[in-house]
Amino acid sequence: MRVFAIFSGFSQMCNNLMTPLAKTRARRHFTFMRMITICLAVVTIGFGPLHAYAQEVPQDEPLQETPLQETPQETPAPEGEGEQGEPPVVVIPGLTQPSEAPARTLEPGKDLTIRSEEDRAEKLEDLFSSLRLAPDADSAYLVSEEIWAVFLQSGSQSVDFLLLRGIAAENRGDAKLARRMYDHVLRLQPEFAEGWSRSGHLAIAEEDLNRAVNDLTESLIREPRHFYALWTLGNLLEKLGRQDEAFEAYSEALKIYPENVELKTRIDALKEAVEGKAL
């Protein structure tokens, strides 16, 4: 009964946090999100209650949000950053991690600038459809890069720059600076799914699994098709020894990104153990 009460309360909290756009998208993923919610409720019991982690912006570093202009100038990548937006890799022993991404090869002249939430929804709908129908891994990768280009746009140049600073810091091993940047991002733009995903990914490296669970869930509430958040959640669940739930997370990510080789590898590795339990 106690587990059911926790699950019910957690489900209601997730529903209250959803934006109208996220609610519309989530209807297509209700079954999976219910499974993930149950899983996270069980994990949370083992690690204690979830907490809110938003931090106040330090007084010595005042930040002001700058609205995205109609035709924005391209923000240069922070020092230490290679290709913009490449997902940083957390090494979890024994698990297949995202392979190093090849050079970005977005279609020349393709306009991926987001000018409104309606524009974002329309572009992502088209891109995810293309990702599902991609004939091979190379074609799918090109589409996934275009999806990343959309994911990285918060609607604020200030927030986008802070996110890139955080990614650059994480890639060069400066977890302390990356955490500060991600917390600033979430403080200024709490509905930014990519900010929650990056924060959750960093939390695994920080060995703060309670926060990782919370932040990855927040990301998926706002964008249920965020395949990298699902992938990271699968890694986390596998790290916790919850193979059934990890298998489901990887499988859901593969439905979104069917030609991802690493996801297929993880699913194959877990399939025998999961099917063995079913028997």
Mind listing the pLDDT tens digit for each residue in 26-42?
Answer: 444 444 555 455 455 54
Domain boundaries, the chain: 2-50+117-278
Backbone angles phi, psi at 156, to 5 degrees: -135, 125
One-letter amino acid at 82 equals G
Does pLDDT of 260 surpass 70?
yes
Length of the chain: 279
Taking every pair of C-alpha atoms in the chain, what is the biggest distance, in angstroms?
60
Q: What is the pLDDT of residue 221?
A: 97
Nearest-5° Cα angle at 198, 40 to 152: 125
Does pLDDT of 64 surpass 50?
no
Q: What is the pLDDT of residue 202?
A: 97
DSSP state letter for 28: G
Start-to-end CA span in the chain (Å): 28
Share of the chain above pLDDT 90, in %: 57
Does pLDDT of 128 surpass 90?
yes
Local structure of 240: helix, strand or coil: coil
Q: What is the pLDDT of residue 102?
A: 37
Does pLDDT of 16 surpass 90?
no
Does pLDDT of 100 surpass 50?
no
Local structure of 156: helix, strand or coil: strand
Query: What is the spatial distance between Cα 209 and Cα 215, in angstroms, rounded to a whole number?
Result: 10
pLDDT in tens, 197-207: 999 999 999 99
Identify the residue with better confidence: 198 or 20: 198
Domain covering 2-50+117-278, topology? 1.25.40
Cβ pair 210, 47 in contact under 8 A: yes
Backbone conformation region of residue 207, classed left if phi is above 0, alpha if psi is from -120 to 50, else beta = left
Local structure of 131: helix, strand or coil: helix
Does pLDDT of 84 surpass 50?
no
One-letter amino acid at 12 equals Q
Q: Which residues of 90-107 are buried (b: 16+ CB within 10 A; e: fewer)?
A: beeeebbebeebeeeeee
Identify the residue with better confidence: 172 or 78: 172
pLDDT in tens, 69-83: 333 344 444 444 444
Share of the chain above pLDDT 70, in %: 60
Does pLDDT of 123 surpass 70?
yes
